Amino acid sequence: MSSFFDSQVGRGKFDYFIHCASIMHLKRFEDFTWEEIERVLNVNLVGTIQLLHLLIPHMNDNGRIVLFSSAVTFKNLENYSIYSATKAGLDSLVKSLARELGGRGITVNSIAPGFIATKLTDSVKDREQELINQRSIKKPLLPRHLEPIITCILDEGSEMITGQCFVIDGGVVTR
Residues classed as catalytic: 83
Within 8 A by CB and 6+ apart from 117, the residues are 125, 128, 140
How many H-runs (helices) and E-runs (strands) does the chain carry? 6, 4
User: Pick from 22, 33, 174: which is nearest to 87 by CA?
Assistant: 22
**Is 120 in contact with 69 (CB distance < 8 Å)?**
no
